Structure 1
Amino acid sequence: MKTILLKLAGPLQSWGTNSHFEYRRTDNYPSKSAIIGMILAAMGIRRGVDENLIIELNKFDFALRIDQEGDILEDYHIVQNRLKEASFYVTKRYYLEDAVFLAALGSENGAVIAEIEHALKYPHFQPFMGRRSCPVPADFFLGVFEEGVIEILKTYPWQAASWFKKKQRHDPKYHTFVYADSHLLKQAVRKRRKDKVASFSQKNRQFQYRFESELSVMLENPLYQGSTKDEHDALAAIGGEYVSIQS
């Protein structure tokens, strides 16, 4: 088994699996179809060209870890109808702010993994996180590993931003979740998610349901500073004393 590990982090991301017309929503974490789309773009595969490769990538094991939850941002638009100069209408776009995710794709097909690795290092088309205005980070491609997708996400170091880790500094471990193909977590509850891509064709995009399960994980916190009982005493630092004031 070889596993590709990707980091998705930035000011804004958007991962819609149920968006139509003027309302472009985002899910709380990336979809498998979005990750496959990013890989195909990096490989230079145009929409509707090589759908046999899509079938192959759908077979890959997939799991995703939430390292830093994002906040939902609503972006307000007013759009003009070109056919009617005085006609305007409202559209809304939704994003995730300051989120960090790790996405893992695994397979026994070493030849395809090697092709994907080369494409991610030297992309033909620039990958982006859901929308073209959301570029991937410099450390987007984290490498190829020998572990399976669940194993690597259980052990890979926590990738949240430093400011976010500092907020958790009194907890030795950070509790988060992994969302994976259900066959990888056979004892877990299954739920359906419509993010199995059948075709990326611009004229006839098609997505099907796949089963997904959730796994709770604990990540080591490198900024752990002990209990809140050991908080710094500001008055002690300047030689002050607590004075009891009584009426």
Structure 2
Amino acid sequence: MAEYLVFTLCAGMAAMGDLAGHERRGTLTWPGRSAVLGLVAAAAGTRRDDTQGLARLEQLRVAVGVIDDGVPLRDYHTVETIPTAAAKRPDSRPVAILAAGRATNTAITLRDYRVGVAYAVALWGAPLDGLAEALTRPVFALYLGRKSCPLSAPPAPRRVDAAGPVMALAHALLPPFRPFGRIRLVASDERIAADDVEDTRNDVAIDRGKWHFASRAVYTHRPARGEDEA
């Protein structure tokens, strides 16, 4: 048995970053390690430049249980871009636009979202003190991806003892408006069963201020009926 912190992430819209491109930003079907730990950091009031605070969170192990990965939504919008020659080393974007005058360009960009998502999250492997309290009374607003994607219900964190991450995730509390749903897939930092599928995700934060990330192994596990029952 080990101690876990479990909570839920439900949102009307979510954007769980993919490789960033200028014209398109896709979304994955569940939040990665950097997204989960970034949300916990926001709840605790840990800022991007607090390297020691972020390093403590990086010691945690993470498992995400997919209850509902929602449906895809694509948003089209425009971005005004500024040629480098038109405004060199500006103090701000408004200053750059003003300096560029009529030399700006307009590009259509695509942003992908998932609508109506619900996930369970388990954290373990490092001290959990204070994290449940932070998620209950977050310092900063919690959102799932972009700031336009706030959570639709409180995370409802709880500390539990369980034989593994799948059993721990079964203790996650869904909000009243989502009373039904079982965990269909678990994406974990650690292998849960011998037949888990190993993949790679680029979601280990190296420098959150500079948006630098590294790759890691992620193991996807599909719980059998009854395996995910607390």
Structure 2 counterpart of 1:138: 153
Distance 1:160 1:26, change over 3 A: farther
Unaligned runs of 5+ in 2: 82-96
CA deviation digits over 1:198-236, x for unaligned, max 9?
2211xx22211111111112467xxxxxxxxxxxxxxxx
Structure 1 counterpart of 2:218: 212
- Secondary structure class of the residue paired with 2:31: coil
**1:178 maps onto 2:186 in alignment:** yes
Distance 1:135 1:157, change over 3 A: closer
Structure 1 counterpart of 2:166: 150
Which amino acid is 1:91 matched to?
A: T
Cα distance in 2, alignment partners of residues 189 and 96 from structure 1: 23
Cα distance in 2, alignment partners of residues 187 and 163 from structure 1: 30
**1:88 maps onto 2:106 in alignment:** yes
Distance 1:10 1:125, change over 3 A: same
Which amino acid is 1:26 matched to?
A: T
Cα distance in 1, alignment partners of residues 153 and 173 from structure 2: 17
Distance 1:4 1:91, change over 3 A: same
Cα distance in 2, alignment partners of residues 152 and 4 from structure 1: 8
- Secondary structure class of the residue paired with 2:140: coil
- Secondary structure class of the residue paired with 2:135: helix
Residue 130 (structure 1) shift:
0.3
| Contact preservation (8 Å) 1:67, 1:159 | no
Following superposition of structure 1 onto structure 2, how do residues 121-136 of structure 1 map, counting pairs within 5 Å?
A: 121-136=136-151
Cα distance in 2, alignment partners of residues 211 and 97 from structure 1: 27
Following superposition of structure 1 onto structure 2, how do residues 61-100 of structure 1 map, counting pairs within 5 Å?
A: 61-81=61-81, 82=97, 83-85=100-102, 87-100=105-118
Structure 2 counterpart of 1:200: 208
Which amino acid is 1:58 matched to?
A: E
Cα distance in 2, alignment partners of residues 130 and 219 from structure 1: 31
Q: Hey, which bits of structure 1, 4+ residues long, moved more than 6 A?
A: 160-164
Q: Report which structure shows greater RCO (CA 8 Å, sep ≥6).
A: 2
Give the aligned length: 206
What's the C-alpha RMSD, in Å, of the aligned pairs? 2.7
Higher alpha-carbon Rg = 1
| Contact preservation (8 Å) 2:10, 2:153 | no
Identity %: 22
TM-score by length of 1: 0.73
Unaligned runs of 5+ in 1: 166-172, 221-247
